Every structure is written in structure tokens, then in C-alpha cells.
Amino acid sequence: MNSILLRKELREARWKIVLGTAILTATALFIPLAFNYIKDLISVLPQEQLEKYGGIMTLNIFNDFSLYLWSQWNAKNLTQIGTILAVLVGMNLIAGEISGRTAGFLLTRPVSRRSVFLTKALAGMLTIIFMVWFATIIMVVVVNYFMPYTIDAGRLFLTTVLTTLGLLVLFSLTLLFSTLIDEPVKAGGATLLIILLIVLFGWFGPLRFLNLFNYMSGARYFLGGIFPVVPAAVMCGSILVLSIAGLSVFEKKEF
């Protein structure tokens, strides 16, 4: 890790950090503020329609504010917006240096490729972690201090750990493609194709276990109370494996 490079990476990512944090925070604030409005809206719908299309969950989430927050935040908005942000943060890190032709300038300084790659990976991960946790903490603080609801903040935070791990897996995948493909948009596109494939796994019963998004939502923990140790470990392992693969490609890459 190189502090000069880290400052450079964070500076280059500053607009992504600002906009990503703003979008996530706005969404995080909208969810609790919209609780009564959505609850009223749902209540006017015919019961049989709700049971037919919304399932039991739709009814239950309005009886438990923590459940509502989780279902709208971890299981939905954070996962969806976070996925897009993870790809946007990662796709430019290596491919951007190549397409901008600054890689030659950077790599002719006395700095190892390992240091360059790991610093970029760290900068990207810190960016994602900051955006996710800033928005989540703001949401919990606002609910606890300014709204008449009580929430299980500990459980929500622990679930957010799982969501963050999933987003870091997607970021590491994007970084790998950013190393393999010299064009940022193509690297992002290739990652999105893989993500689409992962989503498709969720549609087929026997392959469901391969769907990362099932684990990212933390449903098993939030609804069942059992922390998914193995999936969490697999996500950590995936981050490590994808990062090592990216590093290996980067160290062998010719510029």
C-alpha cells in the first residue's frame, strides 16, 4: 500500500464518492420517511390482490419497522444501487489508467505493480465501505432520534456487513475485468454480464445457491436469526481470490 497513490486514487474517485454517498443517503432517508405513506397505500389495496402478488412479506413488513427497513434497504435498494456503484468504482481503476495512457507514466515511477494494484483495490473498497456505511448509519440515527420507531440496529448493521461483503465481491470482480480489459466501459459491461448470469442462477432451484444476491440481502440472518458463517466466509474468500487473480494479471500485464 502506498499513501501517495491512495491519496491520488481517492482524489480521482471523489465525485463518485460524493454522488454515490448522496444517492445512497437520500435513498436511506427516503425509506423510513416513506413508511407511513407506503403503509397507507398498501392498506387501500384489496386483500386478495396483496396476497396474490405481494405475498405474506408485504403485509408483515408494516408490523415490524426493522423488518421494513431491512426489506427496503439491505434486500432491495442498497443491493441494487450498491451493485451499480461497485461496478462504477471498479471499472475505471486499471482500465482508466490504460485508456488514459497514464499507466506508462505511473509505472515508470519507482513503485511496484503490487503496490499500485493493492492501493487501487484498497481505495475502491474504502470508497464502497464509506458510501454504504455512511448512508446506513445516517438512516439508523435518523430513525432512532427523529422518528417514533425502535429498530434493531445491531441486527441491521450485521446484515449490512453481509451486504457490504457482497458488494466487495462485485467490486473485486469489476477490478479483475478492469485489469483484463483496457477499456473501462467494456470492463464494466463484462462485469454486468457476469452479474446478470449470477442473477439468472437465482431463477433455477438447483443453482440458487450460486446467487450471490441471496447472501447479500442477509435474509437468512435477518429472518432466521442464524448468521450465515459459511456464505460470509465464501464471500471473503471470493474477494481474496478475485483480488489475487487481478493482481496476478496486473503483474504480468505489458504496457
Partner 1 sequence: MNLAIEFENLSKNFGEKKAVDNLSLQVPEGSIFGFLGPNGAGKTTTVKMMLGLLRPDGGRGRVLNRDIGRESEAIRSKVGYVAEVQEMYRYMTVQEIISFCKPFYPHWNDLLVKKYLDFFQLPAREKIKSLSKGMKTQLALILGMAPEPELLVLDEPTSGLDTINRQEFLRIILEEIAVQGKTVFLSSHLLHDVERVADQVAILNQGKLIDIRPIDNLKTSVKKIRVVFQKDVPEELFSQPGIQSYTREENAYLLSVEDNLQEILNSLKKYPYFVLDIINQNLEEIFIEKVRRDQE
Write out the residues near partner 1 by the rule CB under 8 A.
Answer: 4, 8, 12, 100-102, 104-105, 107-112, 252, 254-255
Write the single-letter amino acid at 105: F
Shortest Cβ distance from residue 5 to partner 1 (Å)?
9
Q: Within its chain, how far is the Cα of 231 from the centroid?
A: 16
Closest CB to partner 1 among residues 15, 37:
15
Are the C-beta atoms of 81 and 27 separated by less than 8 Å?
yes
Closest CB to partner 1 among residues 98, 219:
98
Shortest Cβ distance from residue 1 to partner 1 (Å)?
14
d(CA 85, CA 141): 23
Closest CB to partner 1 among residues 14, 39:
14
Shortest Cβ distance from residue 111 to partner 1 (Å)?
6
Exposure letters 93-113 (e unless 16+ CB within 10 A, then b): bbbbbbbeeebeeeeeeeeee
d(CA 113, CA 122): 14
Closest CB to partner 1 among residues 114, 208:
114
Shortest Cβ distance from residue 12 to partner 1 (Å)?
8
Closest CB to partner 1 among residues 220, 253:
253
CB-facing half-sphere around the CA of 28: CA atoms within 13 A: 25
d(CA 218, CA 75): 7
Shortest Cβ distance from residue 244 to partner 1 (Å)?
20
d(CA 104, CA 155): 47
